Structure 1
Amino acid sequence: MAESEIDEQIHAETLPEKADEHEQLDEENRLKPEYVASVIEALEEEDEGRAYDLVEPLHPADIADLLELLQPEQRHLLAAAITDLMSGEVISELNDYVRDDMIESLPASAVAGIAEQLDTDDAVQLIEDLDPRDQRAILAELDPENRAVIENALSYPEETAGRLMQRELVAVPEHLKVGDLIDFMRDQDDLPTEFWEVFIVDHRHRPVGACQLSWILRTPRHIPLTDVMQRDQTLIPVGMDQEEVALRFQKYALISAAVVDEGGRLVGQLTVDDIVHIISEEAGEDALLMSGAGEGDINEPIRDAYSARVRWLIANLGTALVASLIIAAFGAAIEQLVALAILMPVVASIGGNAGTQTMAVSVRALATNQLTKSNTRRILWREMRVAMLNGVTVAALIGIATAVIFSPMLGLVIATAVVINICTAGLAGVAVPVLFDRVGQDPAVASSVFVTMITDSMGFFAFLGLAVACGLAG
């Protein structure tokens, strides 16, 4: 068949599916509200055939999105209507809370059947958050080989390379030639369906090199693999934290990487699609931790969301009392000069925003290894200089406005207080996350609560203290 005929055939086969997707997805590739409403209507009318026809053209990832948009009872109805479409791909794309809800409503044998369709890393993700009793029931339904692989993965700590890695890979001995490898891959039926490189191992199953498929296809058959393989590899220890794994993929522009155990033996691989999920997860997690919002998932149970957030609000209440005590100490001065009460929130707000800016930069730098023990002083001095420039600029604006509206002396006082508070914010925005990091805690964990306390307290103290010292009140 000519190449043009093949292209026309592919186009003809894929065109109807694209047309269907266009009807269900908007220009931002999200499910249209009217489409979701039509699925809900079919479920409410108990028209399973219509619901199936509406969902059938969707990509598995879009089916997962649809399930997440429905109420729990509607999800179960839809899952029952589209049983054969509820593939492992759909389940693996679901939000954690939605997936757990769906899995708990299925018998162990059905969950085991889904798990066996998945790569080991996705199967582990499917099972790992279930309670031990449900885990045991599902594992008992798996065939012995899959059960052993998943049990081994679950033995590693969460968010480590061992928990995340795929066991499906292609590894061959180093004595083979290119032609031998090609014949091996053609003859074997149990190879992974998708892979980008072949790992070359020695007699102890330790990786000694890797060959990309493109190299293999373009190399004559008689050439030994040792002549074309890349010997310098980025090997991932099985116990490495997922955040560090993501940094290595980013730093060395990896598509896949071998995972090795404590003895240096090849036990799995990580691929870039896994890393994309990790990067997205870590970025969102850091942003939520800085605000004290817990996991911040809209599908999280209300009780879990409450318990995650309320403890930081209580902590914030305690830190706010520090600022209140400072204000109380200058109560007499505030009574004499009402302008102080009017301008206090300005000083505190500007300092808080400046601290948040610096803190966000610091947390990101710590997460990406740009801020380490070797350059902490340099980064601190850099942020202090930025804070000084910001402080002088903002102080000039607020000082002039205050001098015009109230008095020149009060303008000078608030300008000085703003400079002091923004410089304090710059210091706290670096110091607080670094301190968390030094004591082995996540630097994003509610740093904003403590930075806000420092900037509010210093802002009030500097402004009110300078006002009293200059004889404006008190």
Structure 2
Amino acid sequence: MTEMTDAPDAEDLAPPSLDDDNRLTDEFVRLVSEAVDDGDNNLAQELVNPLHNADIADLFELIDEDERAPLAGVLGDLVSADVLAEMNEHVREDLIEVLEPGQIADLTEQLETDDAVAIIEDLDEGEQQAVLAELEPEDRAAIESALTYAEESAGRIMQRDLVAVPEHMNVGQLIDYLREHGDLTTEFWEVYVVDPSHKPVGTCQLSWILRVPRDIAVADIMKREQTLIPVDMDQEEVALRFQKYNLISAAVVNEDGRLIGMITVDDILHIVEDEASEDVLLLSGAGEGDINEPIRDSYKARVRWLIANLATAMVASFVISIFGAAIEQMVALAVLMPIVASIGGNAGTQTMAVSVRALAMNELTRSNTRRIIVREFRIAILNGGTIAILIGIGTALVFANPILGGVIALAMLINIVVAGFAGIFVPVMLERLKQDPALASSVFVTMITDTMGFLAFLGLAVASGLVGF
């Protein structure tokens, strides 16, 4: 008689879903993709069901673009509102395109206001209106109000759901209020205390509320000093406030000083990552740098900076053309020119990166600009002197020409010092002109270092009598 055994379930068949770095494994992604292609919906759901919302969002980013809509159809309710909130915006746009306005509305109603706004703001105006029409009046009013604020402002990222109480309450009344009102938000770290005009006058952390007797007045335990966030403040500045004052959450106030929302540290973590990535990518002219960004958008973002670099490179080429006759007299000049320009460019990039970061972190301000310029100038002299000695000695030995070694050494020193100055001067000037220092600094710094490098080297070669002009 044959013994019957249970069929293996998905857990027995599936490879580990996450590797040692907490990333979805190639084998797991392939198995889910094959299950969808084979029409084995049950297996696909069983495989994905144990995953965290963030890992499900990662799964959609890892599979091919044409597989995302079929996978969403197979997973059904597993593609929850929280999964959409965790998803890359370009991937999310692909999925939202196949959803009806009513479905999008159902999903956004399950989210905090800031996450719902992040989804709806990416829709076309017509689609926005269709989705908003499907929302409950209260939710629609909150989202429409948030959309009136500028992008990347505190108003866009704040949550409307918070707990605010009058200061005449005692701790017992506050606890009873929290227990009896089931419609209050369930995720908060502190209670905001407001005056009759709904202006915040203090905050109470939950730990304080839980550790004092019921008859103690809220006004006696609340912290009156608090960091208030203006609703129109840029999100990068908000992140700096959280970092500087070690905040877990902060109240958002309108122009009249009335409490209208709060921002929590989990939202700030995303902002810090986004802003840091944005500055790095802007320095390279790579646009958003998102691997899920449409090819056309990536092309448009990158090509304009390449064209700008082409224009600035022509300035350096013009300088070389002036000394064309001198270069023909000594081939060594052509051999050594790229070294001068390259080292100068790297030195300028180092200083520029430090300057852009310092400006972004509010570490470089009008009050200390002169001191920082002097500091970078001294560093440039030390770096320039070290590299000049090395390249000078090496050139003199290789080409058996001490004068040529001295020329390239002095040119290198000049170019590195100029590069250090340009690396801080250009970002500071752009910031003073209300331009993003990360956006255009690299173009100008590269032009300055290349042009000065060629001009210094070739000019000194002519001045020293190495070649005629």
Partner of 1:137: 130
Aligned ranges for residues 91-102 of structure 1 at < 5 Å?
Answer: 91-102=84-95
Whole-angstrom distance in 2 between the partners of 1:42 and 1:383: 58
Find the counterpart in structure 2 of residue 245 from structure 1: 238
Contact 1:21–1:57 (Cα < 8 Å) also in 2: no
Equivalent position of 1:468 in the other structure: 462
One of 342, 358, 364 as aligned partner of 1:371: 364
Per mean C-alpha deviation after superposition, the further-off stretch among 207-216 and 39-48 is 39-48
TM-score by length of 2: 0.96
Superposition map of 1:88-167 within 5 A:
88-167=81-160
Partner of 1:413: 407
Unaligned runs of 5+ in 1: 1-17
Q: Does 1:340 align with 2:333?
A: yes
Q: Once the 2 structures are TM-superposed, how far is the Cα of residue 45 of structure 1 from its aligned partner? A: 1.2
* Displacement of 1:439: 0.8
State the TM-score, normalized to the length of structure 1.
0.95
Partner residue, 2:448: 454
Cα distance in 1 for partners of 2:363, 2:53 equals 38
**Selected match of 1:424 from 418, 424, 447:** 418
Amino acid at match of 1:97: H
Q: CA deviation at 1:446?
A: 2.9
SS in 2 for 1:343: helix
Letter in 2 for 1:429: G
| Aligned counterparts of 1:454 and 1:338: Cα–Cα separation in 2 | 24
Given candidates 385, 388, 395, the residue that maps to 1:402 is 395
Shift of 1:19: 11
Are the aligned partners of 2:81 and 2:110 in contact in 1 as well (CA < 8 Å)? yes
Contact 1:21/1:58, CA 8 A, preserved across alignment: no
The answer for unaligned runs of 5 or more in structure 2 is 1-10
TM-superposed CA distance for 1:449, in Å, is: 1.3
- Shift in Å, 1:21: 11
The match for 2:190 among 197, 202, 206 is 197
Counterpart contact for 2:283–2:442, Cα < 8 Å = yes
CA distance in 2, matches of 1:101, 1:222: 55
User: Secondary structure of 1:362's match?
Assistant: helix
Give CA-to-partner distance per residue, 1:43-76, whole Å, 9 cap, x none. 2212211111111110000000000111222111
Residues 156-204 of structure 1: CA distance to partner in whole angstroms, max 9, x if unpaired? 1111111110001000011000011011111110111211000000100
CA contact (8 A) 1:291 1:446 kept: no
Provide, for residues 413-441 of structure 1, a one-character-per-residue CA deviation record: whole Å limited to 9, x for no partner: 00000000000000100011111101111
Residue 32 (str. 1) matches residue 14 (str. 2):
no
Q: Is the 8 A contact 2:61 2:91 kept in 1?
A: yes
CA distance in 1, matches of 2:428, 2:386: 27
SS state at 1:446 partner: helix
List aligned pairs for 1:152-301, cutoff 5 A.
152-301=145-294
Secondary structure of the 2:51 match is: coil
Counterpart Cα distance in 2 of 1:467 and 1:438: 38
